[in-house]
Structure 1
Amino acid sequence: MALVHFLRCAGDEAFFAAYESALRLRLLSAAARLRIRQLVPASARWLLDLARADADSGLESLLRLRLHLLGLRLDRQVNILGVGRVDFVIEERLILEVDGKENHDGASMRHKDLTRDAAASALGYESLRFDYAQVVHDWPTVQAAVLAALIRLRDRA
């Protein structure tokens, strides 16, 4: 199976994103998922258990995996009245958005994002927005921002 080989070659993070993508696209039958579980090392089976079929992108999968490893539980694809659907919410008050270029490029999309962030703030949420390069190539900065925001929100409570 290609995904099993991919795990060996590319590592946990890339495998997790690819596996969630395959789940979302309904490319894996129940038999295929069982075969993958049998073939991956026992040490990697937790990735299969964490995987979900509703990841909108590999970038979202990667962010969720990394925050899971920090012990943070995220609610995914949350609808907030007056804001719309957001990528993630942590501890009911911190919104995380991961923006791929295709959905958030250009002045009109930027304006829409800023409007949503302002509406969320008026409802008591703090929003953090990261792009591909930050999540993939500058994870320490993303991690520090998320953890600092959570500390601020906990101190306000």
Structure 2
Amino acid sequence: MDVRHAIQECGGVARTCELRRYGVSGDAVVAAAVDGTAVRLRKGVYANDARSAVAVAAAHGGSVTCVSALRAHGIWLLDAASSLHVNVGINGRVHPHYRCACIDHHEGKTTVFGVASAVDALKVAWRCLTLESYFVAFESAWRLGLLSEQNRRSLIEAVPERIACWLRRARGDADSGLESLFRFRMMLIGVEFESQVRIPNVGRVDFRCGRVLIEIDGRANHEGDSERARDLARDANAVQRGYVTLRFTYAMVVHHWPSTQAAVLAAIDDMAFITPADSL
């Protein structure tokens, strides 16, 4: 097996001793580093791409963890911090490297390379995320199928009770992190919604509270003419059944929350005493 293939089999980063298990000699590794086939990160550690998160973490002395691992798994994150979170182990040594801005974590006795699982990343991410960001990440990982029921129980047991009490109210059916964020912020002020409700002649809506329907329109959706026409038709059908529909964009939920919250509360108050047609 050639050096690059062997490194790839090891997850993109490998120690010399690991490469030997694939039949790659020390001389072959050195030759690959000289001709650019592989990159020497530090003594005895090689990568195929020095710019990858896994390689930078290995150069630093460990594995990708916490919010960086969550991002690698495609989990929705509200916080956009760009620093790489690296687990160097309890007794691990940090290695200086070019333009280092890594955030160190010290979990586990042994130092490994690669990317932490979603479960392991969530076990430590509560220390680096706000409560709402952590809640959203938890629901996103659940929705992506990265958390089994046992995983969820173990995480609830692992975090402080001030966080665990919110995770017990989490759901796995949010279509986006933006929906999770909206629901969490409304729960903070004591407003509960039914989620993913199917209404005759309207279809599935993101949230319902009495006669008020809420649709969360993310940045990637609802921008084309056909999508806009479909949304308007749904809203018109909802009116015929006695509902009012409020639609909120990414910016309205994330950056203009006070006005968004005020609009929701006003609509719920205005429509509180009218019974929807589909319940008559």
With the shorter chain as reference, the TM-score category is: over 0.9
Structure that is richer in helix per residue = 1
* Long gaps (5+) in structure 2: 1-119, 276-280
- Are 1:133 and 2:251 an aligned pair? yes
Q: Deviations over 1:107-146 (max 9, x none)?
A: 1111111111111011110110001110011100110000
Map of 1:120 onto structure 2: 238
Aligned to 1:51: 170
Structure 1 gaps, min length 5:
none
Q: Deviation above 4 Å: which 4+ runs of structure 1?
A: none
Alignment CA distance shift 1:30-1:120 (3 Å): closer
Query: Per-residue deviation at 1:48?
Result: 1.2
Deviations, residues 54-110 of structure 1 (Å, cap 9, x unaligned) = 11110000011111112111111111111111000002x100000012221111111
Task: State the partner residue of 1:11.
Answer: 130
Q: Which of 190, 195, 206 in structure 2 is aligned with 1:76?
A: 195
Amino-acid identity (%): 49
Aligned residues: 156
When normalised by structure 2's length, the TM-score is 0.53
Establish whether residue 108 from structure 1 lines up as the match of residue 226 from structure 2: yes
- Which structure has the bigger radius of gyration? 2
Normalising by structure 1, report the TM-score: 0.93
Structure 2 distance, partners of 1:68, 1:54, is 16
Cα distance change, pair 127–33 in 1 and its aligned pair in 2 (3 A)? same
2:269 to 132, 151, 157: 151
Q: 3-state DSSP class of the match of 2:207? A: strand
SS at match of 1:113: helix
Q: Relative to structure 1, is the Cα distance of residues 39 and 151 closer, same or farther in structure 2, using a 3 angstrom cutoff? A: same
Cα RMSD after superposing both structures: 1.4
Alpha-carbon spacing, 1:8–1:140, altered in 2? closer, same or farther (3 Å): same
**1:76 alignment partner, SS class:** strand
